[in-house]
Structure 1
Amino acid sequence: MPLVIETRTPPDISAADLYAVLRLRVDVFVVEQRCPYPDLDGRDLLADTVHVWAREDDVLAGCLRVLRHGTGTPAIGRVVTAPVARGRGVAATLMDHALTICGPDATIEVDAQAHLEHWYGRFGFERAAPDHDEDGIPHVRMLRRPTA
């Protein structure tokens, strides 16, 4: 069955969908990666946050969120794929969708796990700062400049 992409803002996301998104993030970022950090950072319910997720056979395959930081400058984050859906392009499909949401004229920010720098580079992101530690995992700030 093909991937079904869904996009919601906080007023339009159901409790069940938000729970599924948050659970996947905790299962991967906290449990699988053994990184106890506060995933619930208060940004998931901000009015200008956009949640994007993919379902396959009604099972959550992956998700991400687009933040505006109250400035209109978007940041894509919390990109995660369920273990059973890895290696099939789910995250790339979600990124393409997120880039469309952000628009071609936007400078877009990503705070990526450093080992994924090359993967984000495929989408036009470039390193914008040296590596930094975030909760014990090396990260790098990357930017994608307008394509126009």
Structure 2
Amino acid sequence: MNMVENNNPMPWQLKKFTELTTLELYYIYKLRSDIFVVEQDCVYPDLDGLDILPETYHLFATSNQLVMAYLRLLAVDTSYPNMSALGRVVIHPDFRGQQLGHQLLSRATQFLDEKWPEHICHISAQSHLAKFYQQHGYSIVTDEYLEDGIPHIGMERPAKNNKAELT
């Protein structure tokens, strides 16, 4: 599904794994590897089997085939009981500071509200990004913990149909 808007010609895409082209998949994995493994100096199993699940969605924006912003949306009960989840949220270094992260999260939120409106969304967020996610309705729900050697916190956004679910 192409998510291009009239006032923003950036080509946002929302696709399942089987809909991704070989080049899209290559540039998604390259970006994730460049940032999560190389830039953050973190060796971890990025290919965890969740990308290929039938109800996993990949949301991304491209420029000349280069993936500028990306995240994956995991269906309810995939990673957390009775919750959907966001993961692998990443902005290409050449495109940081251009509000792409906010656009990415806004689009993800819209999708979550349409696809799984009855369910909370969980994210394991890098601790230094807490305020960013709070701007998009996420609240801190865990103490800080280390994930792959990087400080993280659990954050959740209430279901669209029950905004009072989180305190």
TM-score of the aligned structures, taking structure 2 as reference length: 0.82
Q: 1:78 maps to what in 2?
A: 88
1:48-59 to structure 2, matched below 5 A, reads 48-59=55-66
Q: 2:98 maps to what in 1?
A: 88
Give the SS at the match of 1:40: coil
Which amino acid in 2 is paired with 1:134? Answer: E
Which amino acid in 2 is paired with 1:109? Answer: H
Matched, 1:127 2:140: yes
Higher-Rg structure is 2
Instruction: Note the C-alpha offset of 1:146.
Output: 2.5
Structure 2: gaps of 5 or more residues: 1-7, 162-167
Give the SS at the match of 1:74: strand
Which amino acid in 1 is paired with 2:89? Answer: V
Q: Which runs of 4+ in 1 moved over 3 A?
A: 69-72
Q: What is the alpha-carbon distance in structure 1 between the residues aligned to residue 140 and residue 82 of structure 2?
A: 21
Q: 2:122 maps to what in 1?
A: 109
Structure 1: gaps of 5 or more residues: none
Aligned counterpart for 1:34 among listed residues 26, 29, 41: 41
Q: 2:4 maps to what in 1?
A: none
Q: Is the 8 A contact 2:60 2:70 kept in 1?
A: yes
RMSD: 1.6
Which amino acid in 2 is paired with 1:143? Answer: E
Q: What is the alpha-carbon distance in structure 2 between the residues aligned to residue 19 and residue 73 of structure 1?
A: 29
Tell me whether 67-76 or 12-21 shows the greater mean CA deviation. 67-76
Identity of aligned residues (%): 34
Aligned counterpart for 2:32 among listed residues 25, 31, 39: 25
Q: Is the 8 A contact 2:67 2:92 kept in 1?
A: yes
Which amino acid in 1 is paired with 2:142? Answer: A
TM-score of the aligned structures, taking structure 1 as reference length: 0.92
Give the SS at the match of 2:151: strand
Q: Is the 8 A contact 1:2 1:56 kept in 2?
A: no
Q: What is the alpha-carbon distance in structure 2 between the residues aligned to residue 105 and residue 35 of structure 1?
A: 35
Instruction: Note the C-alpha offset of 1:57.
Output: 4.2
Q: What is the alpha-carbon distance in structure 2 between the residues aligned to residue 88 and residue 72 of structure 1?
A: 34
Tell me whether 117-126 or 99-108 shows the greater mean CA deviation. 99-108
Instruction: Note the C-alpha offset of 1:12.
Output: 1.0
